[in-house]
Amino acid sequence: MGSMPTSHFSGLAAPPRDEIFELLGQFRRDTYPERVNLSAGVYCTDEGEPMPLQVVRQAETAIYQAADPHRHDYGAIEGDAAFLALARDFTFSTACSADRVVSVQTVSGSGANHTGARFLADNLRPRRVWLSDPTWVNHDLIWQTVGVAVHYYPYYNAKTRSFDFDGMVAKLEAEAEANDVVLLHACAHNPTGLDPTQEQWKAIAQLCQRKSLFPFFDNAYQGFASGDPDHDAWAVRHFAQLQGPALEMGVAQSFSKNMGLYGHRTGAFHLVTTGEGSMSAARESITANLAMIVRSEFSMSPRFGSDIAKTILGSKALTAEWYTELQVMSSRLISMRKALYDALVRLGTPGSWVHIVNQIGMFSYTGLTTPEVVYLRQKYHIYMHSSGRISMAGLNTKNVEYVASAIHEVRSNPSVMTSA
């Protein structure tokens, strides 16, 4: 018998593995009793367990009891129109008229980012996209896959552990060109937890307007960051209501964090147009082009998560309950920031840690180096990203002292290399 032919794929290089999911797998295989997962961005209770929101449970019950005979049918390619209208209004409120916004349902925030990126790559044809340095790891991958050159603007000042507003503006002023896409985090910047002030947002908006840049917001944490959805949407709404000239922009929206619908993949992509003149024909064309992208990639979005979101957003009573739960979640994250900071200060841990309480949202850029992170994982079974980013949701009253003590030990140990 002849030898087996060589596979077409035998020389295929393996891409880098996703670090967050790799760490999650390691954590799940770890049997150490005091292991701590600070890697994945999943909200947990003070007992370290997942927390389905009560309002989500009520919505699930209502959907089950309604027993809609069409609940398992195919939906429209562009998504559930009622859900999309509610998601749009949750994002923009009255910042711009509804006829300026074209929306399609997506597979959560990743799908929204990719659908928007694909549409812009095909139709705006930007020379480059500008991402913050650092940014959510999937942003790089998404824009690379649609063939747009990825460039970076400064965002994090490692020395001061603060937002580098001056560096960001200087870079975009000097190098960004008309029709370049600028990706912005609407609130609770991932991974740094550092957001521009409202005055800084105004300056960024003016820069985009003056240089004809195309803003693209990733809106993954609205309501989850501060507990106030209107506060968290301030930047998006400010950009949307600018006049002379009005800005066109994209918004990728996710309900994974703020409704805890991680596995249901519930999101939307919103394209804000200028709205000048008669837009009805243009809206139909935009919708058709977005729908073609959806059809080619996943045909249509999952419906159960959007049914949950639609049930909550469509009820004043349930929305009020949801807002209360958002405040509870954001308050717990804030309290964990303070608890970790207080413990590090009390221990006299070398370095300044005030940035932990100055940041916002699910993540904190701790300033821990990669060797320190590796040491913490190997000796203390504390899992976090190699950048030193931690998920505050993984801290609780039972493990925060353990984590603080471990950080204190690694920072006080001269045998651990403290620079990457």
Give the mean pLDDT of 165-182.
98
The least confident of 11-15, 115-119, 285-289 is 11-15
Amino acid at 330: S
Instruction: Give the torsion through C-alpha atoms of 172, 363, 303, 283, to 10 deg.
Output: -20
232 is catalytic: no
Q: Which residue out of 80, 130, 136, 171 is catalytically annotated?
A: 136
Q: Is the peptide bond before 302 cis (omega within 30 degrees of 0)?
A: no
Task: List the chain domain ranges.
Answer: 19-52+331-411, 74-314
DSSP 189: -
**CB–CB of 87/247 below 8 Å?**
no
- Choice among 130, 143, 180, 257 that is catalytic: 257
Respond yes or no: is residue 136 known to be catalytic: yes
Residue 219: phi, psi to the nearest 5? -110, 80
Within 255-380, strands assigned E span 266-272, 363-365
Distance between CA atoms of 362 and 391, rounded to whole angstroms?
Answer: 6
pLDDT at 390: 94
Instruction: Render pLDDT for 285-332 as a digit per residue (tens, 0 to 9).
Output: 999 999 999 999 999 999 999 999 999 999 999 999 999 999 999 999
* 278 — pLDDT class (breaks 50, 70, 90): low
Count of CB atoms situated within 10 Å of the CB of 367: 17
- Beta strands per DSSP E along 139-189: 149-154, 156-157, 162-163, 181-185
| Of residues 334, 337, 329, 332, the one with CA closest to residue 400 | 337
Give the separation between CA 239 and CA 247, rounded to whole angstroms. 7
Residue 419 has pLDDT above 50, yes or no: no
Q: Distance between CA atoms of 340 and 48, rounded to whole angstroms?
A: 16
C-alpha 59/C-alpha 61 separation (Å) is 5
Q: Is the peptide bond before 33 cis (omega within 30 degrees of 0)?
A: no
CATH fold of 19-52+331-411: Aspartate Aminotransferase, domain 1 (3.90.1150)
Catalytic annotation, pick one of 164, 180, 195, 218: 218
Q: pTM score, two decimals?
A: 0.92
Architecture of domain 74-314: 3-Layer(aba) Sandwich (3.40)
pLDDT at 338: 97
Give mean pLDDT, residues 189-210.
97
